[in-house]
Chain A
Amino acid sequence: MNLEKLKEIVRTVLPSVDVVVGYKKGFDALHPVPCFLTSPEEIDALVLNPACVHNLAAYLPSLKNKAAVVVKGCDSRTVVQLAQEGLIKRENVVVIGVPCQGTVSVRKVLSAINHQPVIGASFENDTLVVKTKKGETRLALHDVLSDKCLTCRYPTPVLSDHLAGEQIEPKTAGKEAYQDIRDFDARSLEERRAYWLKEFDRCIRCYACRNACPLCVCRESCIAETRDPHWMSQRATQNEKMMFHMIHAIHLAGRCTECGECERACPMGIPVAKLKKKINMEMKELFGYEPGISMDDKPPMYTFKVEEEKIEEHKIR
């Protein structure tokens, strides 16, 4: 992640767009926040490091005029997906890609330093140095990476008008990326059921996962909240919690770009991204489709083939 190169690009891009969406320092060094640059003086406030976790492409559908956005590999897939579905206009977006070696999971870092308040943090090659009142802790970056980054297949943005840095080769191939899902599928049905009931039980229905999701675009007509049709009630029961997560997962079938924002936003640490990853794995197997890779693709649920190669008629058994 090359901050100087990024600033240089932003400086050249800024005059031709309304706003540049990037990251700036937040309340501590571990929490950069999204920022919206409109004037050249603000450029020096830009930050770029593995703590820049947000998927900034999520802001694009709500920006009316021409905008530039800083995207990592996974976020660039979101841009492609949004454009593919006609939710943004490609010509209205300037994509500034940053090749990314993985972002940190703040949750993992905080638990490694016993949730001490962070005074400072710096990144040195493969090490994260966190300063707290009790002293300095050095953490290997690999140990605190987000789970999604451990199986990243697109460290270099799939789409970019400007690239801030050198291309990075992916560490994982397609097959290994879904190993965790296959392992989970190998468990017994009863185990899987118990696992999800326990996880969903913690859900407080804050809808943070939905709000953070760049592809949840129904806004005020989200069926989790509409009362007509009345899909769900306000009761905080396990049925409703499970129903909500099913809605989120199924509405993202063949669309989820695995940016992991849902899971990161969850205050209760529920592994909600796993549900979407499972569906993505099936989409790959059934239709050879990966969301957010090519602008000319059509999401598999929006189309069909008269003769499906991989779908066979089921026998009752």
Chain B
Amino acid sequence: MSFVGGKELRIVGFLCNWCSYGGADTAGVSRFKQPTDLRIIRVPCSGRVDPLFVVKAFISGADGVLVSGCHPRDCHYSDGNFYARRRLEMLKRFLPFVGIDARRFHYTWVSASEGQRWQQTVTDFTKVIHELGPTPLLPQNKTLPKEARA
């Protein structure tokens, strides 16, 4: 199901292996309907997400980036998401400075049992990205072949 029949956009999701990836799995097993714009990359922990992963995704033409980890205090490695929270907050405040809309980047916490919450997050975030439309392309991305862009 692409979002309300429109053109599919590209959203990159960095999900921690222990909570959010499990949460997405729960949502799938429970057969919750979700938009399909999100491409998931599984990472060991949200603390593994270098803010530059997000920047790289945007520069390469992603329309939105979602990072999701375990709830604070629930990290499998005890403190990975605490570090992630600081870094991602820094990034969220920095992105608009170089002209990337902060609404295109979201970080949140979803546990493995929260299938419903995951579905809600994906649906809401995809909706926001569709309202914003495709990311304004960097001049070089415009010259990429169509298949590489769409």
A interface residue numbers (CB < 8 A to B):
184-185, 189-190, 192-197, 231, 237-239, 242-243, 246-247, 249-250, 253-254, 275, 278-279, 282-283, 286-287, 300-301, 304-306, 308, 311, 313-314, 316-317
Q: Bound state CA distance, A193 and B100, in angstroms?
A: 7
B85 x A308 contact (CB < 8 A): yes
Q: Which secondary structure dominates where chain B touches chain A? A: helix
Choose one: B93, B99, B107, B138; the contact of A238 (CB below 8 Å): B138
Q: Which secondary structure dominates where chain A touches chain B? A: helix
Given A197-B138, A306-B82, A231 and B52 touching (CB < 8 A)?
Answer: yes
Which of B2-10, B19-27, B31-39, B120-128 contacts the other chain? B120-128
Q: Which of B83, B94, B101, B108 has the most A CB atoms < 10 Å from its CB?
A: B94
B94 x A250 contact (CB < 8 A): yes
CB-defined interface of B33-63 with A at 8 Å, one 1/0 digit per residue?
0000000000000000001100110011000
Q: In the complex, which residues of chain A have a beta carbon less than 8 angstroms from the beta carbon of B85?
A: 304, 308, 311
B82 x A304 contact (CB < 8 A): yes
Q: In the complex, which residues of chain A have a beta carbon less than 8 angstroms from the beta carbon of B89?
A: 286, 308, 311
B98 x A250 contact (CB < 8 A): no
Number of B residues whose C-beta is below 8 Å from A? Answer: 40
Q: In the complex, which residues of chain A have a beta carbon less than 8 angstroms from the beta carbon of B133?
A: none
Q: Which of B51, B83, B90, B97 has the most A CB atoms < 10 Å from its CB?
A: B97
In chain B, positions 81-127 with a C-beta closer than 8 Å to chain A are 82-83, 85-87, 89-94, 96-101, 103, 106-109, 121, 124-125
